[in-house]
Structure 1
Amino acid sequence: MHDISLLTLALLCLAAAMAGWIDAVVGGGGLLQLPALLVGLPHVPAAHVLGTNKAVAVVGTSAAAITYTRKAPVDVPTAIRIGVAAVAGSFGGAFFAAGINSAVLRPLIMVVLLAVLAFVLLRPTFGASPGTGPVTRNRVLAAILVAGLGIGFYDGLIGPGTGTFLVIAFAAILHMDLVTASATTKVVNTCTNLGALAMFTAQGAVLWSIAAPMALFNLAGGMLGARMALKRGSGFVRVVLVVVVVTLVCKLGYDQWVA
């Protein structure tokens, strides 16, 4: 076990459980789990914190994906194709990340998030039920390009809110209700997390002794979140979506102008 106290480990496990719940419902669990790891492991290299975070997250997203696909009408083959494109996009984003000034990116992302928030609030029926009209091959291709390559690129470049962006993209492009969009997002997230985890593992940048207990709590949170979303429906997911977007805007604003 890495040299941390039992209290610190317990708090990290609690954060992992809460992050798993948030991530399963609408995405954005990393907003809680990654900062918790950074605070709990202040002397650990950033690469090891990121690798440990991925090792924990992949367990929760996989469990949520399995829970969803058993009860929600998820097109798994399409989701996997989007996931593979997202892995490629995230590699590209990570390649360019070193040369990008995050102080420039954050305001742009905040504007996009505020636009998303306004769209969701002004369209109360958005995602309440599946959209009308056929899901054509062109729409599937658009989802692969936008949700896979585009949002995957963003995930590798900066990251926060990726799951939330995926939920909205699937609802808008593929006419999904918010529950099905969340389910599809979990399949895509599983692909991207596995790709990132493979890279971190090859680099020896995963603290498995800390990741293992956290993963169990993340697993429990992810399964509970998926079941609650399935039980309570799109209205519940919509409320959580709004809360997560507002939180993300505040977090980016704090990073930009306060921290």
Structure 2
Amino acid sequence: MPPDLDLLAVGLLVLAGFTAGWIDAVVGGGGLVQLPALLLVPGITPVQALATNKLAGIMGTSVSALTYYRRVGPDLRTAAPMAATALLGAVGGAALASRIPEDLFTPIILVVLVAVAAWTILRPRVGAHTDLRWAGRRHHGAAALLGVTIGTYDGLLGPGTGTFLVISLVGVLGYAFLPASAIAKIVNFATNAGALIFFIPYGAVLWGLGLVVGVANLAGGYVGARMAVAKGSGFVRVVFIVVVGALIVRLGWDVLA
């Protein structure tokens, strides 16, 4: 734990971790809250903030993934290949992160998010029920391709990874929002693990800080997963639209700045 942190700062970090865990458990995108909070810690470097954010995030995604598994029973035949390729993609993306300028990606991601938000709002029936577009090898192949693509993005940049996982599962594979969020948690656990495989050997993780924020993230993940299961796909869809809107505002501000 950095020595310059007072009790108020620790309390705010804990609150940010809990909020991020809740958002991640419902629909993804908790990094919008947690990463900026970590970046405000005195003396922390961006790489340390990213690595510590992954440690806290994996604690939350582990408990929310387990909660979804027990209460929703996500299709592991989809989650397994998607998670495996996402982990490999995250390791590769983290290794490439220093070589590819972020300015190249941010405007593209912003356009994609605006399109996703418009598509979701204009098609209210999307994600209400599961209607898979493919079966067998085509379905599993598409899941694996989505996994490696989004995993690589998570290693490269990261904001909104859980959100992209949910929308790809809903819009491409044809899942309803609730089972999509359940599968996304398993895959997001793998992407966090992949990034940590790269960051830990470099000593970038601040373990004390990460564990404190991670416990709060874990609590938020548990509460968020139970709430999503109780309220169903309609609730997840509303939170999804709100989180995508927040992502658009955040990335739009970055582009203008």
After the TM superposition, which of the residue ranges 133-142 and 150-159 deviates more from structure 2?
Answer: 133-142
Give me the TM-score of the superposition, normalised by structure 2.
0.94
CA gap 1:243/1:114 in 2 versus in 1, 3 angstroms: same
String of CA shifts for 1:103-129, please: whole Å, max 9, x gaps.
Answer: 232111111111111110111011111
- Sort the Cα spacing of 1:55 and 1:133 in 2 relative to 1 into closer, same or farther, 3 A: closer
Give 2:13's aligned residue: 12
Number of equivalenced pairs: 256
Q: Could you tell me which residue of structure 1 aligns to residue 187 of structure 2?
A: 188
Q: CA deviation at 1:133?
A: 5.7
1:91 aligns with 2:97: no
Q: Please name the residue that 2:233 is paired with.
A: 234
SS in structure 1 of the partner of residue 128 of structure 2: coil
CA distance in 2, matches of 1:134, 1:159: 28
Using a 3 Å threshold, how does the CA distance of structure 1 residues 95 and 172 change in structure 2: closer, same or farther? same
Measured against aligned partners, the alpha-carbon deviations of 1:152-182 in whole angstroms (never above 9, x if no partner) come to: 1211222111111110111233321101000
TM-score between the two structures when normalised by the length of structure 1 = 0.94
What's 1:74 paired with? Answer: 74
Q: State the AA in 2 paired with 1:235.
A: G
Contact 2:21–2:224 under 8 Å retained in 1? yes
Residue pair 2:95, 2:198 contacting (<8 A) in 1 also: no
- How many angstroms apart in 1 are the aligned matches of 2:156 and 2:214? 25
- Given residue 220 of structure 2, which amino acid in structure 1 is its aligned partner? G
Q: Quick check: 2-11 or 200-209, which moved more?
A: 200-209
User: Structure 1 vs Structure 2: percent identity of aligned residues?
Assistant: 49
Q: How does 1:73-152 map to 2 (within 5 A)?
A: 73-131=73-131, 135-145=135-145, 147-152=146-151
CA contact (8 A) 2:88 2:194 kept: no
What are the superposed Cα offsets for residues 204-225 of structure 1, whole Å, 9 maximum, x if unpaired? 2222221222111111100010
Q: Are the structure 2 counterparts of residues 70 and 232 from structure 1 closer, same or farther at C-alpha, using a change threshold of 3 Å?
A: same
CA distance 1:256–1:23, shift in 2 (3 Å): same
Distance in 2 (CA, whole Å) between partners of 1:157 and 1:207 is 20
